[in-house]
Structure 1
Amino acid sequence: MSGSGKKPPLVAEKRYGAQTRAARPEQRKPQARKTPARKARGGNLLSRLVGGIFRLVFRIVWGVAWRTAAVVALLLGLGTFYYYSTLPPVGALLDGRTRGSVTLLDNEGQVFAWRGETFGGQITVENVSPHLKNAVVATEDRRFYQHFGVSPRGIAGAIRINMREGRSPLSGNGGSTITQQVAKLLCLGVPYDRTSGQTEAEYEADCRRSSVWRKIKEVPYALAMEAKYSKDEILTIYLNRAYLGAGARGFEAAAQRYFGKSANQVNPAEAAMLAGLLVAPSYYAPTRSLERAQGRANVILGLMAEQRYLTQAQLAEARSNPARLSEAAEARAGGYFADWVMESGPSFLTRETTEDVIIRTTLDQRIQRAAESALAHIFETKVREGSEAQAAIVVMSADGAVRAMVGGRRTQVSGAFNRATQALRQTGSSFKPFVFAAAMDLGYNPSDWVEDSPLTLNIPGSGPWSPRNYTNDFRGQVTLTEAFKHSLNIPAVRVSESVGRDNIRRVAAEFGINSTLAQGPALALGTSESTLVEMTGAYAGILNGGNAVRPYGLVDLRLVGDSQPLIGQEGGIQNRVISQQAAALTTFMMREVIESGTGTRAKLPDREAAGKTGTTQAARDAWFIGFTADYVAGVWMGYDDNTPLNGVTGGGLPAEIWREVMVRVHQGLPARPLPLEVPPPPVPLETVVRQHTGRAVAAESPRNEPAENPIDQILREVLGPLMPGN
């Protein structure tokens, strides 16, 4: 190698050349940041302290809040899911009754009364009257179709109202949506358990009870229903299950009960009245106070117009023509009768039925109204104002079919004390037809003679007993017809003693007097007790020719939907008690009571009638029972506490009530003669004595003569069977 022979050392090329280095900006040392001087005052420190505390509290509250909200949301979701999984199909929730219903039909097949809980049949939002749907939504939940089952705005408003009125937040106005009300109606899915020891009423009261815990449970249940069902399905459940007074469950039953039409036919006024029942079913029931129900409906109509469910013209029309009850609901005819019929059937098909039952009855609503109006007329025009006297009426056919029953002056009742069937009262002289009927059956004749003079009988264990006539006088020798039509007590006792008390008791018992009959001679004077329906049925036996009848009101009983009855008629004509001739002769004597005896106030203007008055000791009971060729009617009057009637006898007010009833009952019916037999005229006493003794007597029988009078002695020998010794 020549020269130096050395290669230059390998040196990395610098990143920046001279030019580059010259162009690179000069690197400066970082300068220290100036810190502003602190203010002398301490306000900034306090603000920062307060702010720090606020931020700390906020973080704590927010942490608790969102975690609590998350837990609540989780629980709410779980509860909603649980309830959602338990909810059945809509159809299973429409009829929630555990009790059945009884619908009573009159003799023409028309509904006149209901018992139990009536369910009119399933209705839906689609087939119900749109006026009814709108009335319910306008009244109960105007935002029903907007909310999700719970309305926070409604709850807040309810709490504000309750607190403003001095109540606790959850007392009074609940702010519940229709969905929440349905949850309450369904008792949050808990069915009634008969084995729980709770009555049905207690169960329902518990379901309606408001508490914080129940309100909390309502929320997930309502949300579950909103998720499971449509709005219309929820409203359908509500329309079918709501209680609307008078035993009606659901709007179909209520529409039928109050208006006699289906819920799909109600007009705006009727829809408003039905919707008005939701807040207080018993208080606003139109059967309790039509005026109050109409006032509530007027408020509902205003809400419907305000929410544009009604035009102003429709509002004016509805208010000018308020809803009125159907004829059956307005009259409430046959309340006592319906109670009596319910008692006549087996309890598991009537009073305690779990099925829906239909009972066809013998009630004639025209006759029922006639009886009620007649009673009201007499008490308004003939009885002093403020009197607490009571009365009862029974009208029946000759076979015992009861056509009308009034158990007291208050006729629009249910479950009240029925004086026609439950009151056992002394019968007084209204018992005497059985005494004389027994005599006729043994061959006596209305023209036979009997002595009306002082009589004393020795009763074993009681001593002497002397009956008296109501007038405290004596008529001497009288025919049986005269003794009967003037209701003379002493001749009745003589006839009874002659015929035999056992025979009298047999005839009365077989005619249907089921009460215990007196054993002594006072039997003939009606000292025994009986009910009005028994007595009227016994008189029906005389009208029909001597056959006993069993009063009845039930014709047949069947389950809804069944064509064959489970129970048929229980009652009617039974066995023969006295001969047809004996019944006809007794009817003749009973006609004379009305024609010229103690019952002339009962005389009818256009037809024959027969009957008998009855007044008990001290006038505690007054009776009039009688019949025409068509109907038998019985009237009782008295006080429930046995206070004596003031100046009232069977031939007075009871006879007048009877006449008013029968005049109304027979309107439009042709007059028919009574089935009676007119006896031959009485044989003169002179002839009777001459035929039996050969001794002549004066033509006129003595009046008020002492018992030892020779003529009386002769007659006692001749007519000994009818004249027991003193």
Structure 2
Amino acid sequence: MAKPRKARSTAAKQAPDGKRTSRRGPPPAKRAAKPRRGLWGWILWPVTFLIRVAWALAWRGAVTVALIVAGATAYNYVGLPDMASLSDGRARGSVTMLDRSGEVFAWRGDNFGGLVTTDNVSPHLKHAVIASEDKRFYRHLGVSPRGIAGAMRTNLRSGRGPFSGGGGSTITQQVAKLLCLGNDYSPTLGISEAEFEADCRRGTVWRKVKEIPYAFALELKFTKDEILSIYLNRAYLGAGARGFAAASQRYFGTSVARLNPAQSAMLSGLLPAPSYYAPTSNLKRAQDRGATVLRLMRDQGYLSSADFQQALDTPATLSAAARQDTGGYFADWVMGTGPDFLTRETTEDVIMRTTLDKDMQRAAEEALGFVFETKVRAGSEAQAAIVVMSADGAVRAMVGGRNTRGAGQFNRATQAVRQTGSSFKPFVYAAALDLGKRFDDRVFDGPLQIQVPGSGIYAPENYDKKFYGEVDLTEALARSLNTAAVRLSEATGRDIVRKVATDFGIESDLAAGPALALGASESTLIEMTGAYAGILNGGTSVTPYGLTSLRLRGEDQALLDHETGLGERVITDQAARQLVYMMSRVVESGTGTRAKLGDRPAAGKTGTTSSYRDAWFVGFTGDYVAGVWMGYDDNTPLTGVTGGGLPAEIWRETMVRVHDGLPVTPLPMIDPRTEMRRPPPQVAAPRPSPQPQRQQPAREPDLAERILQDVLGGIFGRN
């Protein structure tokens, strides 16, 4: 039989003293009674309740935000590379251009002067940056609430949004912007590098929020001096200068370690708006901004009153290389002649030596300005271009238009393809001379009609509507007679004329009809000037060039070398010498007399298109070749301008300045007095040799003669 289960007793047990107690222990103590709220208690209760709720939410929210910031800071910290990797943030390299004497005249791309630290820069620069950008830099943890609040207050007072305008960013936060919060630019993004950087600097609330943990990560990863060093290396300072080392060389031509207070203040003053304050854009504005930074340096104890006054009295000025603003068109052209991976798309720092002569470049620019100021009506929008080169094709100067400042403009010397007019005629005469014609051979200048299939009758006329009959080739070229040139071209053969022009360097498509002889085809100024250089050097083709060597910065071995532009022979030397003489008569007594250079011999050819949209003068001395084009960009006809007018005067003003101080070099041409056609030599008629006398056949004697012979024979005993 199963033992009965003991019943769970819930009854009280008997205590030793006879009292019953609960099994679960002593009875709970009696709960104290709540104090009764008074009237004020009920009135204040909602407020205290809300305070308690707000406090509970605030500290919990603060903890949550702190955890998020800590996590974001840790995430950014792990992704930060070393200081050297962060210092050079360029997506592409730079190209520094040297002229023919080895002096810097232009920069392209983003120049980086090399890694610098706070230990090897001028202390004045370090103080200027801290004084103007973040005076509490060494005392905050990367973010300055006081600075942010002050900037917001200033922005609101100015009628802007709280985050529009000044943002109160510390140097650490500015470094975060420069690093784009760890995102690197890539061309695959579909935007330009400038657009990418502008987006990185947008002052939105969300971007400000993201800057905070990144700034904290920077402060944890690097020392204050290392953060400042990244800033000094990475900041953009205008004119293609990335970092203070590059800017110091770009503007002052000096090392960043040797900057004086005035120079340091000017460079630091560029930080808020590099392009606006750039001294190459407006030196006075840059000096005024530098004076503001100098006052901040004095007020914060970085400059004594005496040093401050001295810096104000001797403001920073540009170096000679930075002051000169020449060769922009030439620099753009040269950038397009080298390999892209070492020029326009380079990721390296490249040193490029060129053929540019800064004195000649300045001479060409001054000549163009002088003629337009003194000979052209005010307000004219006519354009002009100039190319000066040596006989081997080395380009010494290039003006691509009347506005010579800046880079990336339309270059009329190399990009404008225009009709050449009569400046093409020397190639017609070159072809004829090469085939055996002489400078004093005759050609007929008179009415001419040629049936052109599909176009009808072609009947050229001379500029003055007159005809001159039989003329020699020299006079025909000097007077630029159209019908004579067409007749000579037709007699020589258009294909031969076209080949000679092409071999001399005219790469554009040439006309197929008889108008070929009169320059109906199009070409660029640099092509035409190079072709004339081929005539000067004795009939050998020339390819214009501007790049002589190219090397990487820090290396001595050149990657590219270019010593000459000479090519293959096109016409004989004798034909070239005759042509040079004929072209010299153009300047001496023909259509180009306004290009005369006094006692210095010169040769050339004028050119004016039939519609007066283009006017040319291309010519040379014994030293240099120069070409001038004039016209309107929209093809508006010129008013009263021919190649022998303003273009010839621009050419003359250019060449006078280019040859200043040079000895006179004779032209490589024939002397017509010794080359005149001689009459054929008189050859004495040969003396006739004696001819043997022919024997007459014997005549049969008649009867009387026979009787007489018989009688006499009997007497003398002969038969």
Residue identity opposite 1:476 in structure 2: G
Distance of aligned partners of 1:550 and 1:571 in 2 relative to their CA distance in 1, 3 Å threshold: farther
Change (3 A) 1:473 1:149: same
Q: CA deviation at 1:586?
A: 0.6
1:84-142 per-position Cα deviation (integer Å, ceiling 9, x unaligned): 23322211111011212112221122221111111111111111122222221121112
Residues 447, 681 of structure 1: 8 Å contact kept:
no
Could you tell me which of 643, 653, 666 is aligned with 2:646? 653
Q: 2:40 aligns with which of 31, 43, 47?
A: 47
Give SS of 2:606's match: strand
Deviation at 1:194, TM superposition (A): 4.6
**Residue 491 (structure 2) aligns with:** 498
Show the 5 A alignment for 1:318-333: 318-333=311-326
CA shift at 1:684, angstroms? 10
Q: CA deviation at 1:72?
A: 2.2
The 5 Å alignment of 1:547-696 reads 547-569=540-562, 572-680=565-673
- Contact 2:262–2:314 under 8 Å retained in 1: yes
Is residue 471 of structure 1 aligned with residue 464 of structure 2?
yes
In the other structure, the counterpart of 2:101 is 108
Asked whether the 8 Å contact 1:397–1:403 carries over to 2, the reply is: yes
Q: Which amino acid aligns with 1:652?
A: G
Structure 1 residues 581 and 682 mapped into 2: Cα distance closer, same or farther (>3 Å)?
A: closer
Coordinate RMSD, CA, aligned: 2.1
Instruction: Classify 1:475/1:320 alpha carbon distance in 2 versus 1 (closer, same or farther; 3 Å).
Output: farther
Give the structure 1 partner of residue 226 of structure 2: 233
In structure 2, the residue matched to 1:140 is: 133
Shift in Å, 1:418: 0.6
Matched, 1:398 2:398: no
Task: Report if the CA contact (8 A) 1:546-1:578 is conserved.
Answer: yes
Q: Unaligned stretches of 5+ in structure 1?
A: 1-41, 689-726
Q: What secondary structure, in the 3-state scheme, does the structure 2 residue paired with 1:300 have? A: helix
Structure 1 range deviating more: 353-362 or 371-380: 353-362
Give the corresponding residue for 1:316: 309
Contact in 1 for aligned 2:277/2:285 (Cα 8 Å)? yes
Q: Give, in angstroms, the shift of residue 211 of structure 1.
A: 2.2
What is the CA–CA distance in structure 1 between the aligned matches of 2:489 and 2:187, rounded to whole Å?
57
| Aligned counterparts of 2:191 and 2:563: Cα–Cα separation in 1 | 35
Give per-residue Cα distances to partners, 1:659-712, cap 9 Å, x unaligned.
111111112211111111122489799x99xxxxxxxxxxxxxxxxxxxxxxxx
Q: Kindly indicate whether the alpha-carbon contact (under 8 Å) linking 1:392 and 1:409 is maintained by their aligned counterparts in 2.
A: yes
Q: Are the aligned partners of 1:120 and 1:250 in contact in 2 as well (CA < 8 Å)?
A: yes
Task: Say yes or no: does 1:524 pair with 2:524.
Answer: no
1:131 matched residue in structure 2: 124
Which stretch has the larger CA shift, 402-411 or 476-485? 476-485
Conserved 8 A contact 2:393-2:564: yes
CA distance change for structure 1 residues 125 and 684 in 2, over 3 Å: closer, same or farther?
closer
**Shift of residue 45 of structure 1?**
3.0
Counterpart of 2:713 in structure 1 is none
The equivalent residue for 1:92 is 85
SS at match of 1:282: helix
Give the C-alpha shift of residue 529 in structure 1. 0.5
Is 1:63–2:56 an aligned residue pair?
A: yes
Displacement after TM superposition at 1:282 (Å): 1.6
Shift of residue 195, structure 1, vs aligned partner:
4.3
Aligned pair in 2 of structure 1 residues 620, 194: CA closer, same or farther (>3 Å)? closer
| Structure 2: tracts of 5 or more residues without a match | 1-35, 681-719
Give the ranges of 4+ consecutive aligned residues of structure 1 lying more than 6 Å apart after TM superposition. Answer: 681-685
| Residues 386 and 196 (structure 1), Cα distance of their counterparts in 2 relative to 1, 3 Å cut | closer
Q: Deviations over 1:469-524 (max 9, x none)?
A: 11111222222111111211121112212222111111100000011111111111
Letter in 2 for 1:440: L
2:168 equivalent to 1:175: yes
Q: Deviations over 1:427-479 (max 9, x none)?
A: 11111111111122122222222222222222222222221111111222222
Q: Secondary structure at the match of 2:584?
A: helix
Deviations 1:62-97 (A, max 9, x none): 222222222222322232233223322211111011
Native 8 Å contact 1:430 1:623 kept in 2:
yes
What's the secondary structure of 1:351's corresponding residue? Answer: coil
In 2, the alpha carbon distance for the partners of 1:453 and 1:191 equals: 73
Distance in 1, Cα, partners of 2:656 & 2:263:
37
**How far apart, in 1, do the equivalents of 2:453 and 2:42 lie?**
115
d(CA) in 2 for partners of 1:470, 1:293: 56
Letter in structure 2 aligned against 1:310: L
Question: What does 1:378-527 align with in structure 2 at a 5 Å threshold?
Answer: 378-527=371-520
70, 76, 85: which one pairs with 2:69? 76
C-alpha deviation, 1:340, in angstroms:
0.9
Shift of 1:53: 4.0
Per the alignment, residue 715 of structure 2 pairs with: none
Supply the AA of the counterpart residue of 1:160: R
- The DSSP-based 3-state class of the residue aligned with 1:626 is strand
For residue 332 of structure 1, report the CA deviation from its aligned partner: 2.6
- Which region of structure 1 is more displaced relative to structure 2, 97-106 or 65-74? 65-74
What SS does the corresponding residue of 2:471 show, helix, strand or coil?
Answer: strand
* TM-score, L = length of structure 2: 0.86
Secondary structure in 2 matching 1:618 = coil
Instruction: Give 1:580 shift.
Output: 0.7
> Cα 1:316–1:56, aligned 2, differ >3 Å: closer, same or farther?
same
Q: Which amino acid aligns with 2:239?
A: A
Q: 1:630 to 1:570 in 2, by over 3 A?
A: closer
Question: Do the aligned partners of 1:259 and 1:329 also contact (CA within 8 Å) in 2?
Answer: yes
Which secondary structure state, in structure 1, belongs to the residue aligned with residue 169 of structure 2? coil
The one-letter code of the counterpart of 1:269 is A
Please identify, of 143-152 and 48-57, the stretch whose mean Cα deviation from structure 2 is larger: 48-57
**SS of 2:279's equivalent?**
coil
Q: CA deviation at 1:551?
A: 0.6
Secondary structure of the equivalent of 2:276? coil
1:539 is matched with which residue? 532
Aligned counterpart, 1:714: none
C-alpha contact 1:445 1:679 (8 A) present in aligned 2? no
**For 1:156 and 1:111, how far apart are their aligned partners in 2?**
46
Give the secondary structure class of the aligned counterpart of 2:561.
Answer: coil
Give, in angstroms, the shift of residue 558 of structure 1: 2.2
2:618 partner SS: strand
Residue from 262, 273, 276 that aligns with 1:280: 273
Whether contact under 8 Å (1:447, 1:682) holds in the other structure is: no
Aligned position for 2:365 = 372
The separation in 2 between residues aligned to 1:682 and 1:540, in whole angstroms, is 24
- Indicate the residue corresponding to 1:215 in structure 2: 208
- In structure 2, what residue type is equivalent to 1:561? G
Greater Cα shift, 453-462 or 574-583: 453-462
Contact conserved, 2:393 with 2:543, CA < 8 A, in 1? yes
Structure 1 residue 51, shift from structure 2 partner:
4.3
What is aligned with 1:267?
260
- Mark the CA change 1:106 to 1:643 in structure 2 (over 3 Å): closer, same or farther: same
State whether residues 398 and 541 of structure 1, in contact with CA within 8 Å, keep that contact through their aligned partners in structure 2.
yes
Q: Report the counterpart of residue 243 of structure 1 in structure 2.
A: 236
Cα offset for 1:575?
0.2
Count of paired positions: 645
Amino acid at match of 1:111: V
Structure 2: distance between partners of 1:352 and 1:51: 72
| Kept in 1: contact 2:91–2:186 (CA 8 A) | no
Q: Distance between the aligned counterparts of 1:149 and 1:662, measured in 2?
A: 62
